C-alpha cells in the first residue's frame, strides 16, 4: 500500500503529517509518496521527507500512483474529479456540513475517512484532530486578542498608577474554550465562561474562571457529549446573561458550535453595541456562521469601536506544532487500517474505523452522516 501526502491550498499552512511520521509508516511496511513542497509552509522540506524514507513526486503523479491519499482540508472539485474508484481519501472534510462532497464521494464509490468524525471516546483521544487543533485555536485566539486589545491583560500596580486586569468572556467551554480560559488566566486576565453543558462547570472553575449559570439548559446523553439545540425560553435567558457580561468584558472569545449545524448566535449586534470601545471579539465559529452576528469568516470588522475577528483556522497560523499534532493523530488512526503486511484492511467491527469511514463502495457508513443525507 502506498500513501500519498498532498500539498494543501495556499490558504492552509499545515501539512497532514511531518517527516517524523514517515519512518513509522515505513516500519508498518507502507510506502510514502510526498507531493513536492507539501511541507514547505510547515517548514518541512522535501529533503527532510526523503531523508525519512519518502519519495517526492509532482501532484499528478502522487494522485496517480498513491492508493491512499491524505490531506488536511476537504479536496476541491478538480481533485475529487481526478480520484478513481479504488482510491482511498482521508482528510478533515466536515461531512455533516459538506453534504454535496459526501454525495460525490458516494456516487464515485470511493472509500473516504474524515478525521473530524473520530468518535469522542477515551480510545479515540489519541486520534482526535478536533481536540488537538482546538487546543491550538484556543491558545492562538487569546494571544491575538491580547495583541489587539489597547490595554493590558494582567493587573499592574506601578508608580504610574494601578491597571485593572482585563475581563475575558469565553462562550463555549469545550476544548478550545478551556484552552482559551487557561491561557487568558496565565496572562493575568479575569475570566468568565458560559456553556450549555453543566458538566464543564467544574473544569471552568478549576482553571480559575467563573462559570456563568443559566438554568434550564437542555442536555442529551445521546449527543456524545456535544451540545444540542436549546429551547426558546432558555435562549432568551441565556441572551440576557451573555449581554450583561459582554458589556463589561474587554475580550469575548466565541467557540460555541453544534456539529453539523450553524453555530449558535450568542452575540447579536445589539450586544456588541453595548460593549466598550476598543474591546475585541474573536469568533472561532466564523466558518459556520459565527457566534457573533457581525463576524465575517477570515475578516476583521470594526463596529461600534469593537474589533470582531472571524477566524476559524488558527491552527494554520501555527503550522509546525499543529501539523505535528495532526500527523500524530493520523498515524494513530492509520494503525487501525493496516495489517502487519502493510495492507489496507477495513474492520467495521472497530467503532473508531466505522465512525470515521464516511463512504465506502457507494454506501454512507457513518450513521450520523447517513441519517442527515437519507
Looking at the annotation, which residues are catalytic? 120, 125, 128, 131, 226
Task: Round to whole Å and give the CA distance between 153 and 157.
Answer: 13
Q: Does 120 bind ligand NAD (CB under 6 A)?
A: yes
d(C-alpha 252, C-alpha 290), whole Å: 13
Question: Which residue, judged by CB position, is nearest to ligand NAD in the bound state?
Answer: 174
Alpha carbon distance, N-terminus to C-terminus of the chain: 33
**Contact by Cβ (8 Å): 171, 291:** yes
Q: Decide: is 181 part of the binding site for ligand NAD (CB under 6 A).
A: no
Scanning 259-267, 268-276, 297-305, 347-355 for contacts with ligand NAD by CB under 6 A, the matching segment is 259-267
Task: Kindly tell me which residue out of 52, 212, 246, 256 binds ligand NAD, with binding defined by CB under 6 A.
Answer: 256
Nearest approach, Cβ of residue 200 and ligand NAD (Å): 6
Cβ 124 to ligand NAD, closest distance in Å?
A: 5
* CB of 219 closer than 8 Å to CB of 196: yes
Tell whether residue 278 is a contact of ligand NAD (CB under 6 A). Answer: no
Please check whether residue 98 is in contact with residue 288, taking contact to mean a CB–CB distance below 8 angstroms: no
264 near ligand NAD, judged by CB under 6 A: yes
Beta pairing partners, 55: 33
> Is residue 283 close enough to count as binding ligand NAD by CB under 6 A?
no
Q: Name which of 44 and 242 has its Cβ closer to ligand NAD.
A: 242
Relative to beta strand 357-360, strand 55-57 is: unpaired
257 part of the interface to ligand NAD, by CB under 6 A: yes
| Residue recorded with cell 495532526 | 326
Q: Treating both helix axes as pointing N-terminal to C-terminal, what angle do 19-27 and 319-334 enclose, rounded to 10 degrees?
A: 10
**Are the C-beta atoms of residues 169 and 267 closer than 8 Å to each other?**
no
Q: Which of 89, 113, 194, 333 binds ligand NAD (CB under 6 A)?
A: 194
Helix (H, G, I), strand (E, B) or coil at 367: helix
Binding of residue 172 to ligand NAD (CB under 6 A):
yes
Based on the shown chain and the rule CB under 6 A, indicate whether residue 214 belongs to the binding site for ligand NAD: no
According to the binding rule CB under 6 A, does residue 173 interact with ligand NAD? yes
| Contacting range for ligand NAD; rule: CB under 6 A; set: 13-21, 95-103, 123-131, 365-373 | 123-131
The answer to whether 322 contacts ligand NAD (rule: CB under 6 A) is no
Query: SS3 sequence, 175-201?
Result: HHHHHHHHHHHHCCCEEEEECCCHHHH
Rounded (5°) CA angle 262-265-268 = 145
- One of 91, 92, 190, 255 touching ligand NAD (CB under 6 A): 255
**Span interacting with ligand NAD, options 57-65, 95-103, 191-199, 302-310, rule CB under 6 A:** 191-199
Residue 123: CB minimum distance to ligand NAD, A = 8
- Looking at 63, 134, 308, 364, which residue binds ligand NAD (CB under 6 A)? 134
**Which part of the chain contacts ligand NAD (CB under 6 A), choosing from 1-9, 29-37, 73-81, 193-201?**
193-201
Distance CA 198, CA 19 (A): 41
Query: Which run of H or E residues covers position 233?
Result: helix 232-248
Helix 129-148 vs helix 175-186: crossing angle, to nearest 10: 40
Give the residues lining the site for ligand NAD (CB under 6 A). 120-122, 124-125, 128, 130-131, 134, 171-177, 194-197, 200, 225-227, 230, 255-259, 264, 266
Amino acid at each position: 500500500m502506498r500513501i500519498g501526502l498532498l500539498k494543501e491550498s495556499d490558504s492552509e499552512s499545515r501539512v497532514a503529517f511531518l517527516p517524523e511520521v514517515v519512518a513509522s509508516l515505513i516500519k508498518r511496511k507502507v510506502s510514502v509518496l510526498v507531493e513536492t513542497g507539501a511541507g514547505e509552509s510547515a517548514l518541512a522540506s522535501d529533503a527532510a521527507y526523503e531523508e525519512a524514507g519518502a519519495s517526492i513526486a509532482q501532484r499528478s503523479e502522487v494522485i496517480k500512483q498513491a492508493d491512499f491519499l491524505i490531506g488536511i482540508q476537504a479536496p476541491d472539485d478538480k481533485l475529487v474529479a481526478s480520484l478513481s474508484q479504488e482510491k482511498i481519501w482521508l482528510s478533515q472534510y466536515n461531512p455533516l456540513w459538506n453534504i454535496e462532497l459526501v454525495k460525490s464521494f458516494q456516487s464515485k464509490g470511493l472509500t473516504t475517512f474524515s478525521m473530524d468524525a473520530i468518535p469522542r471516546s477515551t480510545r479515540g483521544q489519541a486520534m482526535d484532530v478536533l481536540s488537538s487543533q482546538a487546543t491550538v485555536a484556543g491558545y492562538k485566539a487569546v494571544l491575538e486578542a491580547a495583541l489587539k486589545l489597547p490595554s493590558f491583560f494582567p493587573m499592574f500596580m506601578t508608580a504610574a498608577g494601578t491597571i485593572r486586569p482585563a475581563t475575558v468572556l469565553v462562550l463555549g467551554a469545550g476544548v478550545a474554550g478551556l484552552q482559551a480560559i487557561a491561557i487568558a488566566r496565565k496572562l493575568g486576565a479575569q475570566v468568565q465562561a458560559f456553556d450549555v453543558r453543566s458538566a464543564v462547570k467544574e473544569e471552568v472553575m478549576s482553571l480559575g474562571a467563573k462559570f456563568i449559570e443559566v438554568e434550564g439548559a437542555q442536555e442529551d446523553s445521546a449527543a456524545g457529549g456535544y451540545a444540542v439545540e436549546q429551547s426558546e425560553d432558555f435562549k432568551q435567558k441565556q441572551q440576557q446573561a451573555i449581554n450583561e457580561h459582554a458589556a463589561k468584558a474587554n475580550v469575548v472569545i466565541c467557540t460555541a458550535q453544534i456539529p453539523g449545524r450553524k453555530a449558535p448566535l450568542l452575540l447579536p449586534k445589539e450586544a456588541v453595541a453595548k460593549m466598550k470601545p476598543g474591546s475585541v471579539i474573536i469568533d472561532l465559529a466564523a466558518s459556520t456562521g459565527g457566534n457573533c452576528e457581525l463576524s465575517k469568516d477570515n475578516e476583521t470588522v470594526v463596529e461600534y469601536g469593537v474589533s470582531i475577528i472571524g477566524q476559524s483556522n488558527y491552527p494554520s497560523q501555527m503550522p509546525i506544532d499543529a501539523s505535528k499534532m495532526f500527523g500524530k493523530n493520523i498515524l494513530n488512526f492509520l494503525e487501525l487500517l493496516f495489517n502487519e503486511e502493510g495492507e489496507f484492511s477495513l474492520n467495521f467491527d472497530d467503532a473508531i474505523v466505522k465512525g470515521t469511514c464516511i463512504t465506502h463502495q457507494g454506501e454512507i457508513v457513518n450513521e450520523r452522516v447517513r441519517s442527515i443525507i437519507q
